[in-house]
Amino acid sequence: MSAPTVRRRRLGVKLRGLRGSSTLDEVAAKSAGAINPAKLSRIETARTAAKAKDVELLLDLYGIKDKELRRALLALTREGARRGWWQSYRGILSPVYEDLISLEAEATSVRTWRMGVIPGLLQTGEYARETIAATAMSEAVEARVDALVEVRLARQAVLTRDQPINLWAIIAESALQMSCVGEGVMRDQLGRLQSLGRRPNITIQILPSSAPPHVGQAGSYSLLGFDDHADLDVVHVESLTSALYIEHREEVTVYRDAFERLRAAALPVERSAELIAEIREETHA
């Protein structure tokens, strides 16, 4: 299932709240055919981008006269259709990957658990190249490795922008010991973890191989958070061929609680940094 942009989701939530107890059919009837129940449902669930004229009509039907509220919702409408930098890679990126980049661009926090690979937001270019090539399961993806590396590195701008995203990464120790084909690739990657781990908005913990059975064995995932809009938090679970976006509040809570368990099971931040340095020292240059 493809995840819509955060702006569209926020707009949909607000419009659903303003509709109150009125049914979709009742709103459609009041609009005199200008909007139908199916279209209104798609707008509220953010499965389609709303047009400004439709939002204005809905606000009129709901009796919303607050100028500031109307201005804010219309701004969300226009921004929901705004192009992002990643859209210049259309034809290269899957719609699901575009959705992930869009969510990262608007998130205030990312909590990620990775079993066998360094998180994409922390990867070096050469490490990214090796991992992307290794997981390419079609000739089409193999032909786009260079472009996909560019995209992965461009995504990392969220870590250093004026209001950087807060990243908390928990990484399995085994991911630090992967053998790369390129000379010095893993050593450089571990050095990057050391460097980025010193940034105030980045926290890195290592889950040691000696840890007892834990909830993370169910698989890797990322939880994208949106501060004042916790109801818009979304979990991203990736597979070889696609990705799953989990948005239902109760399910998101399960993943949030699982991350807290992983934080408790992982090494403290300082000890994690020491382990990264020790493994890097043992890694051949």
Angstrom distance (rounded) from CA 272 to CA 62 = 54
- Domain positions in the chain: 6-80, 89-122+156-282
Q: Write down the pLDDT at residue 81.
A: 65
Closest alpha carbon to 93 in 216, 211, 236, 243: 243
Q: Which CATH superfamily is domain 6-80 in?
A: lambda repressor-like DNA-binding domains (1.10.260.40)
Examine the pLDDT at 190 and tell me if it is beyond 80.
yes
Angstrom distance (rounded) from CA 72 to CA 162 = 23
Tokens of 246: 């989990």
Residue bearing the bigger pLDDT, 55 or 68: 55
For 92, 103, 122, 186, 284, the CA distances from 192, given in Å and listed in that order, are 27, 24, 7, 10, 16
Residues sharing a CB contact under 8 Å with residue 214, sequence separation 6 or more, in sequence order = 207, 261, 262, 265
Confidence of residue 82 (pLDDT cuts 50, 70, 90): low
Residues sharing a CB contact under 8 Å with residue 56, sequence separation 6 or more, in sequence order = 70, 74
Tell me what the mean pLDDT of segment 14-43 comes to. Answer: 92
Examine the pLDDT at 1 and tell me if it is beyond 70.
no
Residues 182 and 130 sit within 8 Å (Cβ to Cβ): yes
Q: What percent of the chain has pLDDT over 70?
A: 95
Residue range 89-122+156-282 in CATH 3.40.190.10: no
Angstrom distance (rounded) from CA 173 to CA 117 = 10
Task: Give buried/exposed letters for 109-134 (b at 16+ CB in 10 A, else e).
Answer: ebbbbbbebbbbbbbbebbbbbbbee
What is the identity of the amino acid at 204? I
Q: Write down the pLDDT at residue 226.
A: 83
User: Within the chain, what is the greatest distance between any pair of CA atoms?
Assistant: 72
> Mind listing the pLDDT tens digit for each residue in 112-168?
999 999 999 999 999 999 999 988 877 777 789 999 999 999 999 999 999 999 999
pTM for this entry: 0.81
Angstrom distance (rounded) from CA 27 to CA 35 = 8
